[in-house]
Amino acid sequence: MSAAPDPLLPRPCRIERVTRETGGGDVFTWELAPLDGELPGFRPGQFNMLYAFGAGESAISISGDPGGGPLLHTIRAAGRVTRAMRDLSRGDVVGVRGPFGEPWPLARAHGRDLLVVAGGIGLAPLRPVLLAALRERDRFARVLLLYGARTPADVLYRQEIEAWRERPGLEVAVTVDHDAPGWNGSVGVVTRLIERAGFDPDHSLALLCGPEVMMRFAGRSLRERGMATTDIWLSMERNMACGVGWCGHCQLGPLLVCRDGPVFPLDRVEPLMGVKQL
Amino acid sequence: MTAVTDELRSGPFAGMSEAQLHRLGACASLVRYAAGEAVIAEGAAADRFFLILEGEVALSAHQPHLGRVALESIGAGDLLGWSWLAAPRVWQLDAHAAGPVTTVAFDAACVRRAMEHDHELGYQLLQRFVGVIAHRLQASRLQRLDVYAPQGGPRPT
């Protein structure tokens, strides 16, 4: 009988491909492959701890297909560690621990409308949800992607979104906060897309991911349309370190985001989101 | 007129009495715009307002060296235009049809006369427009927060 893998021990993985996702190049996707053996599967919403040797670790959501295919992580170079990651290239080796965390409760949307509401790079942890939902499309009523980005150049997975637009059974609406030459799509905040979506609030599940302010406003908009807070789920972020609930770095009131989340129902975290020093 | 009045029963005018809807419908007509066509123009008299039935209208401002910069998209079920309510009653922005657009266009002078004649109608309309204005103001504030900016805060990805 083999022992369970040590959750604190990174597995070396090679960067097989780097895709620059946005205009500035600060958002990029890694395709990773283990140096030996196979990586464990994952469920939509889970994350890995990625280790840039010599720089440090960072919690990064898995953005690949839970049904198979390579391990994908979409990363924004926002801090010291992720900026070091941006400077790595194909062939470099990084450490991977995980997957960790509670997944999106996709089965709760069976027979109902599924609203995927993403802001900015928050689309990355929701991409696996869309891929999983499309694989078992008959289980859902409507499937909607409502996506807001800062500018047209910041729209993530642009080619894939265009392909999704053409796909029957998936309704896609994209808006940007700031217009730019050549953009013919919507301008305005993502909550405006929620207002126009025309979903049935009594028979829907909403999954939200983006900056916390955006999720707060989006959650409010969904509730104003009659959705129960138990049907609104969001992915929270705090400074995760161990990934398994041992170190307490990601504590959010009584919760440890890495272990109890990162996916939570709104009714569980809404009171905590309003606490300014938490 | 009946067809126009029917379009008012849901959306922002829902809850108004049948008589009020008929009074509003008497001031309104269906107007369609082709993609790219101007709906309102900055500086022109704000003599109408619109309920968007289908399609999307882009509110925009012209900026030197940049051309037309869209500020907000107004879609189906939204009201477009409140400059007709307050002096100097001129449009503050441009708006053009982002694609084929169908609207209910209201004659502002006709609606103002109806509001003067029937203050309850005026109250009902103002209540709705204040809601729309407050809502758009909130959306603009969220837009100003620039929540997706790189310095907007740490994210897992």
pLDDT band at residue A252, thresholds of 50, 70 and 90? confident
Nearest to A262 among B58, B98, B156 (CB): B156
Q: Judge: A211–B152 Cβ closer than 8 Å, yes or no.
A: yes
Side by side, the strands of the sheet bearing A171-176 are A186-187, A171-176, A143-149, A113-119, A204-209, A232-235, A263-265
Q: Closest approach of chain B CAs to the CA of A255, in angstroms?
A: 17
Per-residue pLDDT band at A256 (split at 50, 70, 90) = confident
CA distance A62 to chain B (A): 9
pLDDT band for B157, please (50, 70, 90 cuts): very low
From the list A63, A179, A217, the residue facing B70 with the nearest CB is A179
Poorest-pLDDT segment among A9-18, B50-59, B135-144:
B135-144
- Cβ–Cβ < 8 Å for A266, A219: yes
What is the pLDDT, as a whole number, of residue A191? 94
CB contact under 8 A, B75 and A74: no
pLDDT in tens, A183-232: 989 999 999 999 989 899 999 999 999 999 999 999 999 999 999 999 99
Q: Which residue has the tokens 């805060």?
A: B153
Q: Is B147 in Cβ contact with A210 (below 8 Å)?
A: yes
Question: Is the Cβ–Cβ distance between A263 and A205 less than 8 Å?
Answer: no
Alpha-carbon distance A93 to nearest alpha carbon in chain B (angstroms): 19
The helix/strand/coil state of A188 is coil
Strand segments (E) across chain A: 11-20, 27-34, 47-52, 56-61, 71-76, 93-100, 113-119, 143-149, 171-176, 186-187, 204-209, 232-235, 251-252, 255-256, 263-265
Which positions in chain A touch B156 (Cβ < 8 Å)?
47, 58-61, 125, 235, 237, 240, 262
Query: In sequence order, what are the beta bridge partners of A57?
Result: A51
Size of chain A in residues: 278
Residues in chain A with CB shorter than 8 Å from the CB of B69 are 179
| Residue A16 vs residues A31, A48, A240: alpha-carbon distances, Å | 5, 17, 26
- Residue contact A210–B77, C-beta within 8 A: no
Contacts (Cβ under 8 Å, ≥6 apart) of A123? A147, A156, A157, A209
Which tens digit of pLDDT belongs to each residue from A124-166? 999 999 999 999 999 999 999 999 999 999 999 999 999 999 9
Mean pLDDT on B121-144? 93
3-state helix, strand, coil in chain A (%, to 5): 30, 30, 40
> What per-residue confidence (pLDDT) applies to A272?
85
| Chain B residue at shortest CA distance from A78 | B150
Q: What is the pLDDT of residue B1?
A: 58
- How large is the ipTM? 0.86
Residue A239 pLDDT level (bands cut at 50, 70, 90) = confident
How far does A141 lie from chain B, in Å, by closest CA?
22
Of B58, B155, B156, the CB nearest to A187: B58
The tens digit of pLDDT for each residue in B104-121 reads 999 999 999 999 999 999
pTM of the prediction? 0.91
Contacts of residue A214 in chain B, CB cutoff 8 Å?
Answer: 142, 147-148
B148 closest CB neighbour out of A154, A195, A237: A154
What pLDDT, on the 0 to 100 scale, is given for residue B3?
A: 81
State how far residue A189 is from chain B, nearest Cα, in angstroms: 6
Nearest CA in chain A to B98: A184
Q: How far apart are CA A21 and CA A157, in angstroms?
A: 7
Say whether A189 and B143 touch across the interface (CB within 8 A). Answer: yes
Of the candidates A104, A108, A107, the one whose C-alpha atom is nearest the C-alpha of residue A124 is A104
Mean pLDDT of B38-51: 97
Interchain proximity B75–A192, CB inside 8 Å: yes
pLDDT digits (tens, 9 = 90+) for A12-71: 999 999 999 987 789 999 999 999 888 899 999 999 999 999 999 999 999 999 999 999
| Close Cβ partners of A247 (under 8 Å, ≥ 6 residues apart) | A241
Q: Give the pLDDT score at B65.
A: 81
Dist CA B153 CA A23 (whole Å): 20
Cβ within 8 Å, pair B157-A121: yes
